[in-house]
Chains A and B, each alone.
Chain A
């Protein structure tokens, strides 16, 4: 691997990311999958870094899941997106940041389509007006939330309580980064670092002390793939893809996986349980799995937030071995204590995959 060769490509794919004043839209599924992530994003941006991030309770789905499952027409998705832009315009913002990778891809694709087919944009403006009497300005900048954490990575590193270093050996942690397909595969120029060697997560790992692993199936899909999972008959295809990735990264003995997509961390995490049950195989140390994180969770960890406030108890793969490696302090007794001391109840432990 020639690191300078990657740097050359990264230099070609840098995008302008404004520093402040963003209109934030959430993902449909992340609050269920990784409930602490979006909260942590706003916490870091607003309270740690003092930036202006606005959100509006009346925003909806972007329609991306239905669009990629081929169940709604594109005009409908565009009108939904136009309404989101209208909410941004009404709030007085020009910079639009999406929590979800598929939303991000959806917004970029729609803006690009309007660029090439202006008559379609006119039609959507009419449809939006008919539907809800709203008007919109197109955002000046569209970013994915990981672009922002990438931009702030050094500010976060300056304030970090922990680094991605194994405190027992002093070695950097070996980190697998996994990028959501819709981040830059459709429009390589819109992603930090492009599509073949994306830099957005690598930049965070490097800034926070870890070592990036580049393994043969790095560019491969996590296995979610919308219809691959949502249609039950296709689930074998979903897990086979995930299995392929784990087999490929196994020889590198990764300490953790960091992702920037709603679906990827979920499937990379949960399918480790299913693979363990089906094949009797686990990929972490001593029968554990490889812990999988969102970039907000990792940012929160290095900044010293309590792992249970980050929602890490909702992961399938136990995070405790990694917390011990980094030296993060946590109270095992509080693991299943939710907000306001609510008892979340203890889950049943799996048979093969070792969990705490």
Chain B
């Protein structure tokens, strides 16, 4: 029956159900990914952020929370300028990381 409203799924991220298979494979290629301290330097310096919402910090967090589609969509906006690599205080090679994520997800899409 249509009451004009419906039950919406919980907005909570249930960590029990997050599938980390792909993330763990990424970890092998990019072990530095877990060094991220979410400082946001990458996002703040990203020329694509204002227009597309691109953020390496969010991309990493999304992968850890199992939101792979959001990440893949976001990364398509990256222009690979390398500024985020320059500013990362943890020395994460974000440019390399972005390429690795794209590669992994492309394989997955096949």
Which B residues are in CB contact (< 8 Å) with A237? 8
Contact status A235-B7, CB under 8 Å = no
**In the bound complex, CA of A133 to CA of B71 (Å):** 67
**In the bound complex, CA of A279 to CA of B7 (Å):** 9
Main secondary structure of the interface of A (DSSP, over half): helix
Of all chain B residues, the one with the shortest Cβ separation from A244 is B10
A80 within 8 A of B: no
A243 within 8 A of B: yes
Contact status B10-A239, CB under 8 Å = no
Chain-B contact segment, one of A87-95, A178-186, A270-278: A270-278
Which A residues are in CB contact (< 8 Å) with B8? 236-237, 240
- Interface residues of B, CB < 8 Å — how many? 9
Of all chain B residues, the one with the shortest Cβ separation from A237 is B8
* Nearest CB in chain B: distance from A322 CB, A: 26
Contact status A236-B6, CB under 8 Å = yes
Of all chain A residues, the one with the shortest Cβ separation from B9 is A240
Complex interface residues of chain A between 204 and 254 (CB less than 8 A to chain B): 232-233, 235-237, 239-240, 243-244
Of all chain B residues, the one with the shortest Cβ separation from A350 is B1
B51 within 8 A of A: no
Complex interface residues of chain A between 336 and 356 (CB less than 8 A to chain B): 351
- B1-20 vs A, Cβ < 8 Å mask (1 yes, 0 no): 10111111110000000000
**In the bound complex, CA of A67 to CA of B6 (Å):** 27
Contact status B3-A277, CB under 8 Å = yes
Of all chain B residues, the one with the shortest Cβ separation from A271 is B7
Which B residues are in CB contact (< 8 Å) with A239? 5-7
* Nearest CB in chain A: distance from B15 CB, A: 15
* Nearest CB in chain A: distance from B39 CB, A: 34
Which B residues are in CB contact (< 8 Å) with A240? 7-10
**In the bound complex, CA of A274 to CA of B2 (Å):** 10
Which B residues are in CB contact (< 8 Å) with A279? 7
Contact status A232-B1, CB under 8 Å = no
Contacts A235-B4, A235-B5, A237-B8 known; 16 new A-B pairs at CB < 8 A: A233-B5, A235-B3, A236-B5, A236-B7, A239-B5, A239-B6, A240-B9, A240-B10, A243-B7, A244-B10, A274-B3, A277-B3, A278-B6, A278-B7, A279-B7, A351-B1
User: Could you list some 8 contacts between A and B, CB below 8 A?
Assistant: A233-B5, A236-B5, A239-B5, A239-B6, A240-B10, A244-B10, A278-B1, A278-B7
Q: Residues of A with Cβ closer than 8 Å to B?
A: 232-233, 235-237, 239-240, 243-244, 274-275, 277-279, 351
Give the 7 A-B CB pairs with smallest separation, nearest first: A236-B5, A277-B1, A235-B5, A240-B8, A243-B7, A240-B7, A236-B6
